[in-house]
Amino acid sequence: MRKKKGGLSRESIFRLFLSLAALLLFLGGFFRHIQYSYILLFTAMAVFPYPRSRTGSILKSVLCVILLGLCWYADEKNLLPFYTDEDPITVSFIDVGQGDATLIEFPDGKVMLVDCGPLENADRTIQFLKEKNITVIDWLFLTHPHADHVGGVRRVTGEFTVRNICEPSFPPELISDNYYYGLIQKLADQHALNLQTAKEDSNICENANLYVKMVSPPETLQHDDLNQYSGIVLIEYGDIRFLITGDAGWPAEYAVLDTGKDLSATVLRAGHHGSYDSCAGPFLDAVDADYAVISVGAGNEFQLPNANLVRRLEEHGMRVYRTDLNGTITFTADMHRILSIQTEK
């Protein structure tokens, strides 16, 4: 072993440096989130035979680059377990055919259901919750009173204890003869549910590091289509954000963009089952999500999702999941990253 006079050898300094890097990464994992692969890389380098020749140095450098590439790949694809001491949030886009139902399981065990799908597939929503041993829905948020979103509301409120039921306020002329709007009011009375009207920017619920906010419809919105008044919900858990948009389309998207709100999200539930008139380019620019989910029925009569919309999502760098192709899609995340994406199909 070559030694510097009176000091540490170059090899010792090299190993000390790498061991320190591995240790710092490991300790860093307790505060920030470090993929195990990088710790493994530095540990591997620290215990690696020290190069004794020029060829050895080149070989080792090449090997390190390959290892670094593998670490990056493992990190990107979530191939290795990831250190986290935070309780995760789980968001499941339930396959309810042509409709919408999203289950959010908060880190503290509380449960929120955003829409409950059409009546004909209410069993799918109910069964999905029962398989998770859920008996209480802490918040039932209904984006707008259309059959494909709230058709199953009677079944769901009959099967589970619903602590709070929540919906946006709608222009009276759009709901005066809306069957489902009346039904929700009736069920709330019947089950003595706490029925709340959510306002723009109101916190539907919050606890440590977690906020669920209704970002739309903005008070400035004026439209004759009830879909545009869909409650758009933003769930924020640390750096991770889910944006669930009901059946909002371009008019609502531009109205909410005009408010200047931060709409950036990790996962976007694309509006209106992938219709052409949702997810306008500027809206997608603002959301800038990594993943998009389209809740749509297989072989639906509307021929959704629209191919242009899917392309638009992909062009914005979003990886697209669809309930018609993937079945129920479940995202699990801690406060810093998506830990896993599970699909039923």
Contact footprint for Zn ion (CB under 5 A): 148, 247
Cα angle, residue 89 at apex, residues 271 and 32 outer, rounded to 5°: 115
Q: Which is nearer to Zn ion, 44 or 226 (CB)?
A: 226
What is the rounded distance in angstroms from the CA atom of residue 343 to the CA atom of residue 331?
Answer: 9
Q: Whose CA is closest to 156, among 186, 118, 192?
A: 118
Q: Which is nearer to Zn ion, 215 or 248 (CB)?
A: 248
Q: Which is nearer to Zn ion, 88 or 118 (CB)?
A: 118
Q: What is the DSSP letter of 20?
A: H
How far apart are CB 48 and Zn ion at their closest, in Å?
57
Q: Which is nearer to Zn ion, 247 or 253 (CB)?
A: 247
How far apart are CB 345 and Zn ion at their closest, in Å?
21
How far apart are CB 92 and Zn ion at their closest, in Å?
18
Which helix (H) or strand (E) segment is 232 a member of?
A: strand 232-237
How far apart are CB 228 and Zn ion at their closest, in Å?
12
How far apart are CB 146 and Zn ion at their closest, in Å?
6
Would you list the DSSP string of 192-211?
Answer: T-EEEEEPTT-EEEEETTEE
What is the rounded distance in angstroms from the CA atom of residue 295 to the CA atom of residue 118?
Answer: 12
What is the rounded distance in angstroms from the CA atom of residue 134 to the CA atom of residue 234?
Answer: 23
Contact 14, 22 (CB under 8 A): no
What is the rounded distance in angstroms from the CA atom of residue 286 to the CA atom of residue 226?
Answer: 24
Q: Which is nearer to Zn ion, 142 or 188 (CB)?
A: 142
Q: Which is nearer to Zn ion, 148 or 253 (CB)?
A: 148
How far apart are CB 246 and Zn ion at their closest, in Å?
7
Q: Which is nearer to Zn ion, 247 or 334 (CB)?
A: 247
Contact 304, 325 (CB under 8 A): no
How far apart are CB 99 and Zn ion at their closest, in Å?
6
Q: What is the DSSP letter of 82?
A: B
Q: Which residue has the tokens 């620290």?
A: 46
What is the rounded distance in angstroms from the CA atom of residue 193 to the CA atom of residue 189?
Answer: 7
Would you list the DSSP string of 262-331?
Answer: ----SEEE-GGGG-TTSS-HHHHHHH--SEEEE---TT-TT-PSPHHHHHHHHHTTPEEEEHHHH-SEEE
Q: Which is nearer to Zn ion, 88 or 145 (CB)?
A: 145
How far apart are CB 321 and Zn ion at their closest, in Å?
17
What is the rounded distance in angstroms from the CA atom of residue 149 to the CA atom of residue 161?
Answer: 19
Tell me the CA distances in angstroms from 337 to 195, 290, 304, one per residue in order: 33, 11, 30
Q: Which is nearer to Zn ion, 143 or 266 (CB)?
A: 143
How far apart are CB 166 and Zn ion at their closest, in Å?
18
